[in-house]
Structure 1
Amino acid sequence: RAVDSFLNYETVKYFNAEETEANRYDEAMKTYETMAVRSTTSLSVVNIGQGAIIAAGLMIMMTMAGFDIQNGHLTIGDFVAVNTYLLQLYLPLNFLGWVYRELRQALVDMERMFGLFDEKPDVADRDDAKPLIVSGGDLVFDNVHFSYGERHILKGVSFRVPAGKRVAIVGPSGSGKTTISRLLFRFYDPQSGSVRLDGQDLRAVTQNSLRAAIAVVPQDAVMFNASIGYNIGYGRSGATEAEIAHAAKLAAIDGFISKLPQGYETMVGERGLKLSGGEKQRVAIARAILKKPSVFLFDEATSALDSRTEKDIQQALDEVSENQTTLMIAHRLSTIIHADEIIVLSEGEVVERGTHQHLMRQQGLYNAMWQRQSAGFTDTTTSATSATSATSATSANSTSATPATDPLQPDNAAS
């Protein structure tokens, strides 16, 4: 819990929850203290018990040896030998308490470990799975059904992304857009229907070969607490410095990196704390470029950015995905108007499809979403313009109502 609180310290600060987290930590420590006392108590009972047994045995043996010496059956040397043997036996027995505690803890850890080993993955390669062979990158979702438990997410979704084309998927929240990306990566398998890449069912190929063929640029780019060069190079193991620099250039982040004191060796901090949102997205783009994939997946890659940064990032995405099979999942419709086809999802079903111009003429869900987003942008722009105009008008009225007189010059009326 302490690590979780430290990793999410910004959220803790935002909601003034330091005391709450401290109390949670205290509760966790109390639980740990209770278990530690219980373990120590059981160990103490063992130590006391074995100490009592050894002491009783030692006393009995010494007493019997004393009687035998008195009766002439043993010598003083025999008595010393018996005493020495008992002391040598006592130390290993005393060590048994520590062994008992360690063994008990080890058994608990082993039980957890074996429990993890017994977990069966939800998605596993078939025994006869073959490596994926990508020739062009033709992607097909064919009558795909998927649900999380009793909640149906996708209901017979079918579409095709031709090789070298860009297809965008849009729709309201909860319509199943992100689930499509998870099915493409085989984080899940569809309950019915199929997902095929160049005619090969994804369930019939190995997961390693599938994921090697796809590069994703997510909404929230995850950064390791390492150098920028390492984070870019994570896209392909064994990439050279020249290849990393070339990928950074294509993602238009090489200029920023060159201005840093340590260049590609500059540390980005925990979760990329030292980078802005746009810079992290460009690193994610460079990482995807370095992977040299057959299919690009842009999962709302610009939805968390401001308009200017979004435009720059979108331009970089368009350039790197030119003539590449690209699936774009978008929230802002302005970022996908140049897609070859737009798929509109609603409640897990494809309700509309076509180009931007075609969907706008249909006056359907896509048109309504576009108008809603455009109205929000227009309202914001209008409010800003009105505020500026009002400020200008107020300044003009103030100027006309109050004559501009110079205190160092005589009043016109007086003169």
Structure 2
Amino acid sequence: MGFFETVHNRTNTRSVKWDMRRAVFQSEDVLPMWVADMDFQVPQAVNDALIERAKHGIYGYTIINDDVKNPIINWVSKRHNWKIRKDWLSFSPGVVASLHMAVQAFTEPGDNILIQTPVYTPFYNVIETHDRKIVKNPLQKQGHYYQIDFADFEEKLKQGVSAFILCSPHNPVGRVWKKEELQEMARLCLKYDVLILSDEIHADLIYPGETHIPMASLSDDIAENTITFMSPSKTFNLAGLQASYIITSDKQKRKALNEQLEKQGHHMLNTMGNTAMEAAYRHGEEWLDELRNVLQNHKEYVISMLEEKTDVLTVTRSEGTYLLWIDCSKLELDSKALQKFMNETAKVGLNAGVNYGDEGALFMRMNIACPRETLEEGVKRLVNAVNNR
């Protein structure tokens, strides 16, 4: 059995995905295919590095030195064709924490912040928690694909927006933005003096044939107006180790962000997160390339099964992430009834689309980063429930 086919028992490991089934879905019988972590073990080199570090047995305050920074710089250069400098890097436990810091550092209470809905649920909290106002630029669904409404985008910026939180690649619709799309968003943000906060945590998880382009890599002017948030956590299944970094080329913005991080005590990494990030970026490339092929096969399997075996479920043609956005509108259920159907009838634990915005009310989000055996069981449950309803 291949590395990515091994089924690992994650119950009783304090796993949010598996050990919170009753709390989230009111049942232990639900097959969890929701929260965005993978049911795959990390690259062996990462485990080896963590074990070796644990042998030392002392876990004091840990510096982030060139042994960690250089692999990040090399990774971003090789995988994303973007030359960054060591002094552009800042660190925090996670991208969501970093976004909270950035919103506080660069906007004021009452300011408008734009997001492209349906979108990653913490974006809403990042804005509203700090008394900022959400402005929506809804993505336009065209068949199996989503596009940006640029006329609406400009109109919203024109009305007064302080910052734009970009999700790139986009969660949950799976778009990997093309160069022309990124350039136009950046052009309009520069025109209306809107800071770009670019969440690129899924940058490495793109399907073969696609290319992720960091927003800040497009030009120096765009870089100076962009703060980029990245992490190995989604790429290598390290979310529980809490390690992420921020790339800011503009000196003044970097200073303001670092001051905010220090105010909140978020400017250091834990010892194991530090160790895992270095090992993953030094030794994880072969593992990642194999993973991307596995996910591609999984995506094609889900699309073919749901669309050939049912007449009501269609899957957005995602270009990145291991999350599939499933259109369930033909079931003719409202969002609450749809969730109940998935939980109680299909017994598959998916993310409710309504949580990503009103535009997602009749959708569900499926995590396909699991062994094929698990994937097939989940798809079988969905198909049987839909066809026997």
Q: TM-score, normalised on structure 2?
A: 0.28
Higher helix share: 1
Largest Rg, 1 or 2: 1
- Which structure is higher in RCO with an 8 Å CA cutoff and minimum separation 6? 2
Q: Could you state the TM-score of these two structures normalised by the residue count of structure 1? A: 0.27
